[in-house]
Amino acid sequence: MGDGRLRVIAGEVVARPEVIDPERFQAECVEAFVASWTARGFASSTIDNDAGVLTRMLDALGRPAWEVTANDVDRVVGALACAGSSVFRTSLCELGLSWSGTCGIPKVGHLR
């Protein structure tokens, strides 16, 4: 034991995993996210709110999370800001950012 060499361990061949539908896989990831927050003791109101925001953002992005680009996020956030979403404008202010873009040409910059 402990001689630093590799050993063969008896066992069985593991079956190749089935191909999983991307939407199903993403939904399972969100469920795991919720379960992990529950296990860590977050309030159910926090979990419900944040899971809802995550789900709405993923729906708005229109593609699996692992395929999302910065341009996709800019498109969604810009559309929400142009639609007058106070949540996103408030979030920008909390980050010290301002919204000075016109609809279709978002431009986020630091407040002076």
Question: Residue 68 in contact with residue 61, Cβ under 8 Å?
Answer: yes
Say if residues 26 and 58 touch (Cβ distance below 8 Å). Answer: yes
What SS3 class is residue 7? coil
Q: Bigger pLDDT: 100 or 30?
A: 30
pLDDT at 8: 79
Give the C-alpha separation, 37 to 42, whole Å.
Answer: 6
Each residue's pLDDT tens digit, 32-58: 999 999 999 999 999 998 888 888 888
Range scoring the smallest mean pLDDT among 5-14, 40-49, 64-73, 92-101: 92-101
Q: What is the model's pLDDT at position 44?
A: 93
pTM of the full structure: 0.58
